Structure 1
Amino acid sequence: MARKPRIDVAGIPQHVIQRGVNRSFCFVDDHDCNYYLYSLHKAAEQHDCRIHAYVLMSNHVHLLVTGHSLGSVSAMMQSLGRRYVRKFNKRHDRTGTLWEGRFKSCLVDSERYVLICYRYIELNPVRAGIVENPGEYPWSSVHANAFGKVDRLVDPHPVFQMLGAEKTSRMASYRNLLARVLDQDEITSIRAHVNQGKVLGSREFQLNVESLTGLSATLVQMGRPRKS
């Protein structure tokens, strides 16, 4: 069976999820996490992608990324996946695949949903019960976005930049946003759109994407979306 075409428009951010096969660990120790981020930085540079937010969980990864040419996010993920799996398998004396098939992704309406996706991604360890505050989790872009730590991987999205005229005011505004609990409907919607590969945005935005791609951008009603 042919693969479903991925909805992709250059210059529009995407929320990406990549999961370990059978929910197995993708990261065993700090070395793995550091090497993944190093490899992500290299792949993003090579394929003209900008990483706005990320979190590395034990068995999956979330990214908010903008590719500046058609297919660049897919090319980045393929390059990253190959490089990381070779290293991971060698270090941990294993063979075979590490990832659960194709990565999941959805286009994100910048004006309305980019900051919601920032929060969804960086609050993931809190929702998982690993930490009480996002700043306690080491493998997340929250340290750059909310607290000013230098992270060469993170490139703030223009909507994030609009939170304040200066870096300190932007971070303060973003910390205030992080302190607010995401609405359950927002969480459910994000999960459904990523899992189905649809477009997270207003109906007008979805129609614009449909006209550009010829692909359906709206959700197909089905059961409860997978948690991640």
Structure 2
Amino acid sequence: MARLPRLTLPGLPHYVVQRGNNLQPIFMDGQDYACMKDLLREMGRRCGVVLHGFILLPNQMHLLVTPETAESLPQFMQSVGRTYVRTFNNRHARSGTLWEGRYRATVLEAQAWLLPAMVVLESQAVEQGLAARAVDYAWSSARHNAGVQVDGLLRLHAAYWSLGDTPFSREAAYAHLLTRGASEEVSEVVLGAALKGWVLGSESFIQSLQLQTERRLSRQKAGRPVASPPIKTE
């Protein structure tokens, strides 16, 4: 079956996954990781993409972003991808492709899914055995969002601001969510939606978006849609 065209809806958060070809390494050392962070900052500013969360893993990267226009995210990913591959190949004396193929992405209903998706994203280092805690992993947004250190690459989403009235209360509430982690079911739903390109949200949210595009936004199947995960901060 032909793959669905990628969907970009301006002003809404997107969970993006870009993987190495055959899951081969895309980062070999600290300089590679730092180079990618610099590119995310520069190209985000140029293309109109706001970064809320990220994790750079040895063979893939996950991003949580909001594009300003319908062209912002494709231009951003193309610019980041091409520039990084050229730099990576020059540094490591290699040639050829680095990426698995086109990036994968899903649109999120922010109120219900942004925080769970961020927890899923920032927990990937723990899931893959790269760190004991999400905040121990250097190449992700976890330390910023949990209040451990400031990273100017990131901009907080309104859903994050709703966690508390002060920076401390928001950071503490999010740190609690991150420590508790995401359930296996929520992780499967978020990552599955990103890889398959289905919109992640309530039925009414999906129906409202369907008015903006002819592209099918959800899998046609019997039964009720996946319920939104509860967000508890205590």
Alpha-carbon distance in structure 2 between the residues aligned to 1:85 and 1:64: 21
Alpha-carbon distance in structure 2 between the residues aligned to 1:158 and 1:121: 18
Alpha-carbon distance in structure 2 between the residues aligned to 1:24 and 1:147: 32
The aligned amino acid for 1:184 is E
Which one is further off, 5-14 or 211-220?
211-220
Q: Secondary structure at the match of 1:199?
A: coil
* Deviation, structure 1 residue 4: 3.2
Runs of 5+ consecutive residues of structure 2 not aligned to the other structure: 222-234
2:89 corresponds to: 89
How do residues 157-196 of structure 1 correspond to structure 2 at under 5 angstroms? 157-196=157-196
* Deviation, structure 1 residue 60: 0.2
Aligned length: 221
How do residues 63-142 of structure 1 correspond to structure 2 at under 5 angstroms? 63-142=63-142
Q: Secondary structure at the match of 2:55?
A: strand
1:37 corresponds to: 37
Alpha-carbon distance in structure 1 between the residues aligned to 2:8 and 2:63: 15
Alpha-carbon distance in structure 2 between the residues aligned to 1:128 and 1:38: 24
After TM superposition, where is structure 1 displaced by more than 6 Å over at least 4 residues in a row?
A: none
2:12 corresponds to: 12
The aligned amino acid for 1:89 is N
TM-score, scaled relative to structure 2: 0.91
The aligned amino acid for 1:143 is R
Alpha-carbon distance in structure 2 between the residues aligned to 1:172 and 1:110: 20
8 Å CA contact 1:146, 1:171 repeated in 2: yes
Runs of 5+ consecutive residues of structure 1 not aligned to the other structure: 222-228
1:224 corresponds to: none
Q: Secondary structure at the match of 2:14?
A: strand
* Deviation, structure 1 residue 169: 1.1
Alpha-carbon distance in structure 2 between the residues aligned to 1:219 and 1:188: 15
TM-score, scaled relative to structure 1: 0.93
Alpha-carbon distance in structure 1 between the residues aligned to 2:152 and 2:178: 22
8 Å CA contact 1:8, 1:213 repeated in 2: no
Identity of aligned residues (%): 34
* Deviation, structure 1 residue 200: 0.6
Alpha-carbon distance in structure 2 between the residues aligned to 1:136 and 1:95: 33
The aligned amino acid for 1:211 is L
The aligned amino acid for 2:102 is R
8 Å CA contact 1:193, 1:219 repeated in 2: no
Which one is further off, 181-190 or 84-93?
181-190
- Say yes or no: does 1:146 pair with 2:146: yes
* Deviation, structure 1 residue 112: 0.1
Alpha-carbon distance in structure 2 between the residues aligned to 1:155 and 1:76: 16
